């Protein structure tokens, strides 16, 4: 899974992404708690918006010390165009990956 570097605080902002059909949005976070949380993210599509959950993955899934890998499931079969990020004090997105619908998620995460 290829990540794109960025520096974006989790401060409730609207974040435009390259439009596409995705299964997962993966975020590498700094400053977020390792476990015990989930936050609502609004996913904006060409045809509407849906709430989904941003959840941390197991601790060993983050490659960089001090980071947490989290993901958002994309349930709607429509072009995703933007996200409204949650407010999570002191947390920042330092990299992201958009997994297209054609990607085998289990293989991308090294499970299969």
Give the residue among 108, 32, 42 at the shortest CA–CA distance from 70.
32
Specify the pTM.
0.84
Using CA atoms, how far apart are residues 78 and 75, in angstroms rounded to an integer? 9
Average pLDDT over residues 68-84: 95
The structural domain count of the chain equals 1
Q: Which contiguous run of DSSP H or E holds residue 107?
A: helix 105-108
Q: Per-residue pLDDT tens for 8-58? A: 999 999 999 999 999 999 999 999 888 888 999 999 999 999 999 999 987
Domain span including residue 22:
4-108
Q: What is the mean pLDDT of the chain?
A: 88
- Ordered strands of the 14-20 beta sheet: 4-11, 87-100, 22-30, 67-73, 48-56, 39-45, 80-84, 14-20
**pLDDT over threshold 70, residue 93:** yes
Domain of 69, CATH number, reads: 2.60.120
């Amino acid at each position: 899974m290829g990540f794109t570097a960025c520096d974006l605080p989790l401060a409730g902002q609207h974040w435009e992404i390259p439009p596409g059909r995705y299964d997962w949005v993966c975020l590498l976070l700094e400053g977020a708690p390792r476990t015990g949380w989930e936050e609502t993210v609004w996913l904006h599509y060409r045809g509407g918006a849906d709430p989904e959950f941003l959840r941390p993955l197991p601790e060993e899934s983050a490659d960089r010390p001090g980071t947490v890998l989290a993901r958002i499931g994309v349930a709607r079969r429509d072009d995703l165009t933007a996200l409204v990020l949650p407010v999570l004090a002191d947390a920042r997105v330092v990299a992201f990956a958009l997994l297209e619908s054609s990607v085998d998620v289990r293989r991308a995460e090294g499970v299969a």
